[in-house]
Structure 1
């Protein structure tokens, strides 16, 4: 199970408050700017950034404070202040932030047996917030408890990847644990996988890899008083209202080069309106000068001021979370079984109209490839069916005539009627208008989100053409391509391979790339595979999202990475 689209919910700036909600779990375009400086100064370091209180103004509360129940990669954001993992994301803006680096471990893992076995060694002097040492058994236990049905919500990759773990009921029912995870000594942990997985270092950044002391585990109540391994610990928490974090005095800066942990205290306030958040950050009065948000994008008022207000523009961090909106075809439904029809639609689409429907170029980049335009993903540029800015109806009509439809044709388009992003009515109308110019009549089929995913997720009921979105759990080609195009990833329910593509050569290529442990080499292969699949016109990439977020005037080191699409709270400092 990967990111359930849409991970992002964007409201068009023309139709109300423009916002971006990012699921702290796991859109692109060129790699984002570093943006690691602010109006109050340049980059900071651990020696000069200590002190003060950072305020986080959010719409939604953190889902859980139990690492087993968090669907994250890269260490999350707020969770990364509390829970360290074997690996984590590099703390940098743009493309540099899409790299995996060691966290609790001394390196990103040592692979053997063609990437089917991964070994990690822990750093020295690691401690929990209660002062007890962190050992490999604590990490093993933390992973095993994440299998418990009492603690749902975490990423399920390990159930698929670990040897003989698919039926493991969790540590409470089977305290013997998972044999595929070995701890030969207090500092070593070894994972034995069912098959090669070169992306395992990325997975090892998921919050499930956080250590949990068995003696302090209280099951479903653990999140009421979690034991911290990160630079902060929970001081107080009122669900959906306020979370206060203070320093973990047993955190050792010498063992953690990835978090500056500048503020003495961090206060997260939830339940605020998006417009209120943007207004408070824009004004930056009093405590709001030391404030940021991790779930609210710029509103229309702030977007309108950019370019005319240099001081405000200095306080906008920019990035590209890897997320794509696209048209998906089901070739098992006529007339989409004909490649010429799919190509005609690809030519007819107007990406300019689509982008205008979601708020304009400030919020979206046109896309002609399925992989986002990020180096870590393996991006290779291609545009097999060039539509220009406004579509190419002439070419589309010619292809339709060649396919036996000289007078055009009528087709359905299924979308989510209750969303305002690339899967919603605005984009559906833009697509409908563009295809009409090519002689294609679109019958809109809007459904509420639950009904939409129910019908699209079952191959037997899947429509012929849909608006869809997909985001990556971590910044590599694997979680972006395999769930969508691997023929072995077509379950009877919860299916995302909407083309129902089952090509033995493509499946074999996924297996071959999985054996590669060098991220750069794997990226090149994923890029080539994307370019190969793109020729089949199984999707029409529409646009990838941009991330713009405002911060208070006293905040320093505000940047957005290509991994998360939001601020890295662990690197922020205040006056």
Structure 2
């Protein structure tokens, strides 16, 4: 997962800017530019955060959604979308209900029903959806699982009465109200159902595995001709969309032309040059770091750009089960000597990333700028050396650091090495360019590496999608590997605290508890946060309402974008 790059603007599937005049961009048409490729537009198969952010503003509506505009706190305050409200929950936090609003239609004019919601979710248990899409229905709905972790329910076409009965109990309809019964308490389940895997799907339009790019809309726009996987397609106004029934999307453009397939540097240059064919264009992928300072230092360009925090936090995970990092003093010294400022500079500077001490990013409740270790942005090598000398080990202490190798990452890791060496560490970098995460989570990798570079992005704006995923050993550490817990951290007290926090009804108190757990893990050297990634998007002079939504991963928010 990562920030992509942008593409040359086109109208339909014909390149713009290579001989065409301004009439190539239709009046009221917004052109969005992305390298792609889009893997699918099927809501139960989508897993790309960028594609989810686009689809959820253009043609996929969900029970709840995150509003556009305002500050981060406003954006993450989930609202009813298809549902009249953000839902109601019982005292156990295991039974959630949502009532559909009136007046919501599919593009053929038929109403969106509770049974459509049920059918959409049921698809996620069948192939290819179960292996390609997000697995949150499997994770949270109260449906028994087999010994291997797969569901006893295999989808709507399985002809299995027992499995179907389990699904019918977990997801039920009473008129226009859908009720979910969960296997675990969840105070933020109303944020989970904002994901497209919980979106409705009209059974009569289901093409199964052959419907990869089929779009049947209940949002402001519909796909007017077959999607071209090599170049994109155009979404025209859906005449059956009623703005009065949609509290989230303004639907300002008359159409949205999605273009994919060209490198970001070329696309961004076309947009900032503001040629007639590109005045109605916006990039969906971040501008390359080499172009960012030019954009932000020019007031006219900065005025039509946005530079939000993006999805990912980069961090280091020390190997706490084998080697030198088992020693808490060594981990503390390593954290103290970490030069985040140099790392950020190597990534491209303040427009590309910002130093951070936490895995709870700025888009999440409970985020704090506090420094639990006290290293400061450039590290404290002298203090780190004193702590390392107190570890009982002979200096220099050899540390092997694995990371995903790219030209930028090579520079960023090299920027960290000097501070570590000044503190008394002898660093061996282990660049891995292929299948990085599979390689470092494999059994036996902890015999070869002392510190693992990693990154993580929340699935919705809550630390409940961060700390449990990374440090709950019950879901990570097995004989088959360490999952996303690369350092093999296992602490039953932490596991129990994760369970306790997840069951808290008060989301403000829950966020504070996640922040406290995050800080305690940082103090113990279980992780060393490095940088919060950022993105920079640019638009032509005819584009209005440009903004990004950090509740949607920091991507451009098309709910409010328009064209002059």
TM-score, normalisation: structure 2: 0.89
419, 430, 434: which one aligns with 2:415 = 430
239, 264, 273: which one aligns with 1:249 = 239
Cα offset, 1:244, TM superposition: 0.6
Instruction: Give structure 2 stretches of 5+ with no counterpart.
Output: 8-25, 146-150
Partner of 2:18: none
Q: CA separation in 2, counterparts of 1:234 and 1:244?
A: 6
Matches within 5 A, 1:240-389: 240-307=230-297, 309-374=298-363, 376-389=364-377
Richer in helix (by share): 2
Q: Is residue 454 of structure 2 the alignment partner of residue 465 of structure 1?
A: no
Query: SS of 1:571's equivalent?
Result: coil
Partner of 2:40: 64
Q: CA separation in 2, counterparts of 1:459 and 1:370?
A: 25
Cα offset, 1:93, TM superposition: 4.5
Q: CA separation in 2, counterparts of 1:546 and 1:20?
A: 15
Q: Is residue 5 of structure 2 the alignment partner of residue 8 of structure 1?
A: no
Partner of 1:43: none
Kindly tell me: are residues 197 and 567 of structure 1, through their superposed partners in 2, closer, same or farther at Cα, counting changes over 3 Å?
same
Post-superposition CA distance 1:216-269 (Å, at most 9, x none): 212112344332111111112211202110111111111101000111111111
Matches within 5 A, 1:111-510: 111-151=89-129, 152-166=131-145, 167=151, 168-174=153-159, 177=164, 178-236=167-225, 237-307=227-297, 309-374=298-363, 376-417=364-405, 419-420=406-407, 424-450=409-435, 452-462=436-446, 463-490=449-476, 491=478, 492-493=480-481, 495-510=483-498
Post-superposition CA distance 1:439-496 (Å, at most 9, x none): 211111111231x322321354233211111111111110111111212121434611
Post-superposition CA distance 1:326-384 (Å, at most 9, x none): 1111111110000000011111111121111111122111112232234x331234323
* Structure 1 runs of 4+ with >4 Å offset: 72-75
Query: SS of 1:287's equivalent?
Result: helix
Instruction: Give structure 1 stretches of 5+ with no counterpart.
Output: 1-6, 11-18, 22-49
Post-superposition CA distance 1:520-553 (Å, at most 9, x none): 2321221122122222111111111122211111
Counterpart contact for 2:83–2:100, Cα < 8 Å: yes
Cα offset, 1:165, TM superposition: 4.9
Counterpart contact for 1:330–1:464, Cα < 8 Å: yes
Query: SS of 2:322's equivalent?
Result: coil
Q: CA separation in 1, counterparts of 2:349 and 2:289?
A: 13
Q: Report the more deviating stretch, 481-490 or 492-501.
A: 492-501
Query: SS of 1:233's equivalent?
Result: strand
Counterpart contact for 2:6–2:284, Cα < 8 Å: no
Q: CA separation in 2, counterparts of 1:372 and 1:244?
A: 34
Counterpart contact for 1:298–1:550, Cα < 8 Å: no
Partner of 1:38: none
Q: CA separation in 2, counterparts of 1:128 and 1:475?
A: 28
Aligned length: 527
Partner of 2:30: 54
Q: CA separation in 1, counterparts of 2:339 and 2:54?
A: 39
Query: SS of 1:474's equivalent?
Result: coil
Q: Report the more deviating stretch, 146-155 or 553-562.
A: 146-155
Kindly tell me: are residues 494 and 56 of structure 1, through their superposed partners in 2, closer, same or farther at Cα, counting changes over 3 Å?
farther
Counterpart contact for 1:74–1:205, Cα < 8 Å: no
Q: CA separation in 1, counterparts of 2:473 and 2:6?
A: 32
Kindly tell me: are residues 230 and 250 of structure 1, through their superposed partners in 2, closer, same or farther at Cα, counting changes over 3 Å?
same
525, 539, 548: which one aligns with 1:551 = 539
Kindly tell me: are residues 441 and 164 of structure 1, through their superposed partners in 2, closer, same or farther at Cα, counting changes over 3 Å?
same
Cα offset, 1:198, TM superposition: 1.6
Q: Is residue 88 of structure 2 the alignment partner of residue 102 of structure 1?
A: no
Post-superposition CA distance 1:14-36 (Å, at most 9, x none): xxxxx599xxxxxxxxxxxxxxx
Q: Is residue 76 of structure 2 the alignment partner of residue 87 of structure 1?
A: no
Counterpart contact for 1:73–1:203, Cα < 8 Å: no
TM-score, normalisation: structure 1: 0.87
Query: SS of 2:112's equivalent?
Result: coil
Kindly tell me: are residues 92 and 318 of structure 1, through their superposed partners in 2, closer, same or farther at Cα, counting changes over 3 Å?
same
Kindly tell me: are residues 497 and 223 of structure 1, through their superposed partners in 2, closer, same or farther at Cα, counting changes over 3 Å?
same
Q: Report the more deviating stretch, 357-366 or 518-527.
A: 518-527
Counterpart contact for 2:32–2:282, Cα < 8 Å: yes
Q: Report the more deviating stretch, 182-191 or 204-213.
A: 182-191
Q: CA separation in 2, counterparts of 1:75 and 1:522?
A: 29
Kindly tell me: are residues 459 and 372 of structure 1, through their superposed partners in 2, closer, same or farther at Cα, counting changes over 3 Å?
farther
Kindly tell me: are residues 369 and 150 of structure 1, through their superposed partners in 2, closer, same or farther at Cα, counting changes over 3 Å?
closer
Cα offset, 1:159, TM superposition: 0.6
Counterpart contact for 1:75–1:84, Cα < 8 Å: no
Kindly tell me: are residues 280 and 73 of structure 1, through their superposed partners in 2, closer, same or farther at Cα, counting changes over 3 Å?
closer
Query: SS of 2:326's equivalent?
Result: coil
Counterpart contact for 2:289–2:352, Cα < 8 Å: no
